[in-house]
Amino acid sequence: MSEPLVQRLKATITVENKVGAGGIIATEYVAKAPPDGHTLLFSSSLHYTLPWISEAPVHFDAVKDFTPVARFLTAPLILLVPANSPHKTLMDLVREMKSRPGQLAYSSAGTGSITHMCPLLLNHMTGTTAHHIPYKGAAGAVTDAAGGQVGFTCQSASVAMGLVKAGRLRALAVTGAQRMDALPEVPTVAQAGVAGYDLSTFLGVFVRSGTPGPIVQRLSEDLVQIAATPQFKEFCVANSLSLSIANADTFRAEVPTEVERWKRMAELTKKG
């Protein structure tokens, strides 16, 4: 989004990836920035889980210290098993977890990540248990799933689609409310037999609280218009992302629901 935003704002924009501590470093950086609209935080649903899942101190309030500016998309995960797995459907997997509680292992990109939350929610909704093996990132988690070292995993399309197309992983279901265009034959978890299951992460932009309303409104308008361009839509299709645009007012109105939703998911990670 940076190039079209430069053209609209007539300003220099620097994209800085502040990695570390699961997103805390980047979020704290923006929380301490001047409230002038010059420092934007591109973040996901992780924004609302960090205060509950982080083992390190968190020096920000995810709600009070930030103003939502715009949401662009939602991204479901894919529930995957090795290509040679005996599980042909999601309910095959569920039946094994019921018959062998805690014996089947799944990989995630780390404790508290959405790739951890997706299997936990499946276990919670089906009354099953499985053994969690956290990795330091998605690459190892998906590679070991393809190699059969773990029974299943939930991963993003950007991480897993290459292995699915190569025939090394089998997609049993997608975790969102709708099927993926890239995998039209793969049902949602709800369609596959777990009614009410729906878990996708969002991507949006925040600024520090106290940023003047007119600045927030201008940024929101520009970002929403960029997200509605054919180029951004093509990006979403290419990366199996679902376009889901909301301006500042709509995004802000969703905060109470999102906070409660992700707080519940964070609580599941502590139990599991």
Cα–Cα distance for residue pair 37/207, rounded to 1 Å: 6
Question: What's the rounded mean pLDDT across residues 231-246?
Answer: 88
Q: What is the pLDDT of residues 127-180, one digit of tens each?
A: 999 999 999 889 999 999 999 999 999 999 989 999 999 999 999 999 998 898
Q: Is the model's pLDDT at 20 over the cut of 80?
A: no
Global pTM reads 0.83
- Helix %, strand %, coil % of the chain (to 5): 40, 20, 40
Quick one: pLDDT band at residue 42, thresholds 50, 70, 90? very high
Asked whether 133 and 115 are in contact (CB, 8 A), the reply is no
Question: What's the rounded mean pLDDT across residues 99-114?
Answer: 92
Residue 272's pLDDT is what?
63
Q: What is the pLDDT of residues 46-83, one digit of tens each?
A: 888 877 777 777 889 999 999 999 999 988 999 999 99
Q: Is the model's pLDDT at 187 over the cut of 80?
A: yes
Q: H helices within the chain, ranges in order? A: 2-9, 24-31, 46-53, 90-99, 114-126, 138-146, 157-165, 213-227, 230-238, 248-253, 255-271
* Contacts by 137-143, CB closer than 8 A, 24 or more apart: 137/109, 137/110, 138/109, 140/107, 141/107, 141/108, 141/109, 141/115, 142/80, 142/107, 142/169
Which residues make Cβ contacts (< 8 Å) with residue 85, sequence separation at least 6?
148, 151, 152, 170
Quick one: pLDDT band at residue 24, thresholds 50, 70, 90? confident
Structural domains in the chain, CATH included, are: 2-74+202-271 (3.40.190.150), 75-174 (3.40.190.10)
Residue 30's pLDDT is what?
96
